[in-house]
Each structure stands twice: as C-alpha cells, then as structure tokens.
C-alpha cells in the first residue's frame, strides 16, 4: 500500500504551523506496515486541491488529505471534493445531533456556521468525529481511496485510530518494517558512536541500519530492518548489548519518555519527589507533572528565582549566596536539602544555573548549571556546561536532572 499525505493550508507553506500531522501519520503507518512515499503541502485553493488529488491518484493507492474542514470561510476542502467527485452536500442528521450536543456539553451556544458542519457529500462514507464537529470523509474511485480529515491534530488522530487504520488494513495488504529505538540522555552523538563502535560495525554488517537522532538534551538511536523473525531477534540482541554497556545513559525504548520512566520507578519504590528550581523556573516540576497520575509521587515544588526566596523558602544561607554565588555547589546542595525538608519528600532535585542570554561571566559563562539531588541517605551535586541558548539550556537541565534521579533510584553508579 503506497500512501501520499497531502496537507492543505498556506499556514504550513509559510511555516506558521508545523506539519505534525504528517509526522504522526508517518510514524503510525511505519509501525503498521503502510508505506508513506510522499508528503506534500499545498495551498488552500480549489485549483491546488484538485491538481494535487489528480496527481496523487496517478501515483499512490491511498491519499490522505488533512485540513480545510473548519467552520470558517477559508475552509473549502469539502466543497472542492464535492466538485471533484461530482456529488452534493446533504445534512446528515446523526452528525447534526452530535454537533448540537457537542456545544451543549461545553455550555456554549451554537452558531449557524456550526450547523453547516453537518452538511456532508452524498458520495462519501462519513467517519464520525466524536471529539470535534468536522467529520471525516472516505471516497473511493477505481479501487483507490481518498480520505479527507480535519487538520486539527487530535481530531485527525481520533479519526485515524477510530476508523481509518482498520478500514485500510481490510482493503490493502501491508509489508512491515521493523524498528526499535533506544532513548539516551547525557551522551552526545559522536561520543555514543565511539562507545558502541564495535556493536555498530556488527549491526551494519548484518544489513541492519542505524541512525542517530539528536535533540536538545537527548538522543535517540534507531535500528531498522525489514520485518522478519531473524532480524527482530538480532536487533533485540544489539539493543540489549547497548543497554548493558551504557546503563547511565540509556533510559528507555521507542516512545518511553524520561518523566514516565522516572514516575514508574518512584511508584515502585513508593517514594516521593519535589523540586527546588532557579534557572528552570518550574520546567522541571511541570515535566514531572505532565505524566498522568503523577500526584501519587509528586508533592510540590518551589521556584526560588530571587535571592530572598532562595533564603526564606529553600533555607539557603544568604551569606553563602553572597560568598559563592547563586550558581554554585554550596547553594544548590542547600537548595536540595532545604527542599527535601520543607516539601517533606524522599528525593529532591535542585537546579541553579545561568540560562542566558544575559548573566554570564568569564568564570561562570552562560550555560553553567549546577544540579543537586538529595536522596534519603545523601546529597550529590554536579556541574554542567550546556551552551548559549536559553530554551535549550532549560530543556537540557530538566532532562539531566531527571536522569540523575533515575540513576539514583536504580542505584546506578
């Protein structure tokens, strides 16, 4: 099954919106054995849509259009597809009921434009949208399929999961690719390559491919092959080899997120955590809290941005702030211990650094960050030198601190 994703919208072409829909669908199809061979972005004009659909029908089996189904006047996909498939709109009473109840549940009145969301092409089979008001539409022509979905990511995902994947799997055969990913924190691309050189040579000698995918503060290592039992076993062996060699750095696989990994460890230990943050400004706490159910182990946090609050709330001695500076081993250790006590937690993470762009000195340049962790039986601190970019420094601090916590929970030395 060859698939083309066609995203409609000037906002994508001029970069006001990032095409996350294409990447989500690419990921899902790759796991399910669908083959996305092309992704295009087009303008939201009738001509652009019709040209793109014609061209795509000439080279793939399945076209998935996203975008242009909203209630406002700039949304023309539905009208254009009526023309293309030579059909007309009719009110779908099921959908109309759903749209009405959708507004009622949110305590909002319904507008005339919202009623129009229930007018749908006769020739299409309708994919009911339970999380929004724009229905999906499934057209067929000469054994090929065109699916039109709303561009709002969670509505598109809902429709794909609820209807599209299953119907496509019924209608087409899929040949699968197998891939596995290791999630790595605290080791840069070339340093990882050096540490696993022998394993990498073996992987490549087995006709299996390997890719390094860096992003700020973390790195994914992806191993890919055609899906068959032999390859899957080999890949599993390579993964285990790398995990065993680098336990401080490899924190998970595929879609594991570091905050979820840490959350599970805390749950297992029935331990609680809190944070005392300076340069990260709450980003570390919010990363922990982003996990559903985190209230079982996360107690709370202080963001002590000012010297006064570092002293009054985190219990850091003002004379030490003045003597060593707020970004220092002495201060970050006192923050971690003070937070552990005041928040009443088993583990307390503390971070103090110079995120930038201002505030750097020769001795402590922008990117200097001290991270400490107080555990039930000790406190340790480490210094890092990240870089010049504020947002990335904050992100790297968050991930580094979480990985420190992970290593402490697992007693990895």
Q: Do 391 and 362 touch, CB atoms closer than 8 A?
A: no
Instruction: Identify which range of 82-90, 236-244, 331-339, 389-397 contacts a copy of itself by CB under 8 A.
Output: 389-397
* Cα distance between residue 109 and residue 399, in whole Å: 44
List the x/- string, 107-126, binding to a copy of itself by CB under 8 A.
xx--x-xx------------
Answer whether the bond into residue 357 is a cis peptide, omega within 30°.
yes
* Cα distance between residue 220 and residue 241, in whole Å: 16
Q: How many CB atoms lie within 10 A of CB 186?
A: 21
Residue 377 DSSP one-character state: S
Instruction: Identify which range of 77-85, 237-245, 342-350, 399-407 contacts a copy of itself by CB under 8 A.
Output: 342-350
List the x/- string, 20-59, binding to a copy of itself by CB under 8 A.
x-xxxxxxx-x-----x-xxxx--x---------------
User: Across-strand partners of 126?
Assistant: 137
Q: Smaller CB distance to a copy of itself: residue 16 or 86?
A: 16
State how far the alpha carbon of 279 is from the alpha carbons of 186, 326, 367, in Å. 19, 10, 10
247 touching a copy of itself, by CB under 8 A:
no
Q: Smaller CB distance to a copy of itself: residue 139 or 405?
A: 405
Q: Smaller CB distance to a copy of itself: residue 10 or 140?
A: 10
Q: How many residues bind a copy of itself (CB under 8 A)?
A: 102
Instruction: Identify which range of 84-92, 136-144, 331-339, 386-394 contacts a copy of itself by CB under 8 A.
Output: 386-394
Q: Smaller CB distance to a copy of itself: residue 190 or 244?
A: 190
Q: State the sign of the Cα–Cα–Cα–Cα dihedral 314, 317, 323, 328.
A: negative
User: Across-strand partners of 121?
Assistant: 89
Using CB under 8 A as the binding rule, the residues of this chain from 322 to 341 that contact a copy of itself are none
Binding residue (CB under 8 A) for a copy of itself from 1, 261, 394, 405 = 394
DSSP of 384-400: EE--S-HHHHHHHHHHH
Q: Smaller CB distance to a copy of itself: residue 123 or 177?
A: 177
Binding residue (CB under 8 A) for a copy of itself from 2, 83, 144, 222 = 222
What is the β-pairing status of strands 177-184 and 379-385?
unpaired
Q: Do 346 and 375 touch, CB atoms closer than 8 A?
A: yes
Binding residue (CB under 8 A) for a copy of itself from 122, 174, 207, 214 = 214
């Amino acid at each position: 099954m060859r698939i083309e994703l066609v995203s409609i919208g000037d906002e994508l072409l001029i970069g006001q919106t990032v095409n996350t829909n294409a990447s989500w669908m690419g990921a899902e199809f790759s796991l399910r054995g669908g083959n996305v061979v092309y992704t295009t972005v087009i303008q939201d004009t009738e001509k652009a849509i019709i040209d793109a659909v014609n061209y795509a029908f000439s080279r793939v089996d399945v076209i998935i259009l996203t975008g242009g189904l909203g209630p406002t006047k700039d949304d023309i996909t539905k009208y254009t597809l009526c023309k293309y498939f030579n059909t007309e709109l009719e009110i779908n009473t099921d959908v109309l009921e759903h749209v009405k109840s959708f507004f009622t549940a949110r305590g909002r009145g319904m507008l005339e434009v919202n009623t129009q969301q229930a007018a749908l092409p006769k020739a299409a089979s309708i994919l009911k949208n339970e999380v929004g008001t724009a229905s999906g539409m499934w057209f067929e022509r000469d054994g090929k399929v065109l699916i039109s979905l709303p561009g709002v990511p969670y509505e598109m995902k809902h429709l794909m999961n609820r209807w599209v994947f299953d119907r496509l799997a019924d209608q087409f055969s899929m040949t699968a690719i197998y891939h596995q990913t290791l999630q790595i924190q605290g080791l840069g691309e070339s340093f990882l390559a050096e540490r696993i050189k022998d394993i990498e040579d073996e992987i490549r000698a087995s006709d299996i491919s390997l890719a390094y995918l860096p992003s700020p503060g973390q790195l994914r290592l992806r191993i890919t092959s055609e899906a068959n039992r032999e390859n899957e076993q080999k890949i599993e062996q390579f993964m285990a080899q790398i995990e065993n060699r680098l336990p401080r750095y490899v924190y998970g696989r595929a879609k594991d997120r570091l905050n979820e990994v840490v959350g599970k460890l805390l749950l297992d230990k029935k331990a609680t955590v809190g944070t005392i943050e300076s340069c990260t400004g709450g980003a570390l706490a919010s990363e922990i809290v982003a996990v559903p159910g985190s209230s079982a182990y996360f107690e709370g946090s202080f963001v002590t941005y000012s010297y006064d609050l570092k002293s009054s709330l985190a219990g850091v001695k003002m004379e030490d702030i003045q003597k060593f500076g707020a970004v220092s081993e002495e201060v970050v250790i006192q923050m971690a211990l003070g937070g552990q006590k005041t928040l009443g937690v088993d583990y307390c993470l503390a971070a103090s650094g110079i995120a930038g762009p201002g505030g750097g000195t020769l001795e402590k340049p922008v990117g200097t960050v001290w991270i400490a962790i107080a555990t039930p039986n000790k406190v340790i601190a480490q210094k890092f030198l990240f870089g010049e970019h504020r947002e990335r420094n904050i992100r790297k601090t968050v991930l580094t601190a979480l990985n420190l916590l992970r290593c402490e929970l697992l007693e990895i030395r």
